[in-house]
Amino acid sequence: MSKGLGDQQYGITAPTNFLNARYDRGNADFVRRHIVTGSYTYDLPFGQNRAVKLSGITNAILGGWQLAGILSWGTGEPFSVTFNSTTVGWPSNRADLIGDPSVSNPTVERWFNPAAFATPAAFTFGNSGRNILFGPGFFRWDNGFFKNTKITERLNLEFRAEFFNILNHPNFDVPASNISVPSQVGRITSTTDRGRDVQFGARLSF
């Protein structure tokens, strides 16, 4: 579990309000409040010197396999709700919070309630805090199968089959949060990583 607060947006940027540097104080960009990661390695019980003993060609094909993987889970990343200014001398900034932004059943089509935000009065800064809302959570499972086959005293063949995001689970990005684009605000249209990716490899050692 973690929490990061700061007065700076990602990178080194000028404050939104030069007369109030703390106006930008809020949840740090990209910091998930909860992250759990676990890894495992398991020798499958088939082959010589294992629970299910094999020999000959059967052992060469089915014996000596190892299973390994990494599981990762986390809560969503924070984001701010903004607007576009069309008035010269009035910079775009965060929107005013005028209601409850939460929804009972968030979906990719409506992650938060856009009606809870409004454009502030001209030449003022919005009263909504920086990064007060959070996007969807994150889950990923990478898995692999490995086998070492001793061909001779000096010759060894390693085979690897690796599955990244094996469940092909979509991890969605934060929603569009600019109230000046009403057709998109509150909607999620992208993901933070790729879908399932499979790769195979072999290495001959001597």
The structure's pTM equals: 0.83
CA 191-10-126 angle, 5° bins: 95
Stronger pLDDT, 147 or 49, i.e. the higher one: 147
Give residue-wise pLDDT tens across range 5-49: 877 776 667 788 888 888 888 998 888 999 999 999 999 998 887
Identity of the amino acid at 106: P
Residue 197, strand partner residues? 164
Q: Which residue has the higher pLDDT, 36 or 58?
A: 36
Q: pLDDT digits over 181-191, tens only?
A: 999 999 999 99
What is the pLDDT at residue 194?
86
Phi-psi category of residue 21: left, alpha or beta, with phi > 0 → left and psi -120 to 50 → alpha: alpha
The dihedral of CA 125, 130, 133, 135: what is its sign?
positive
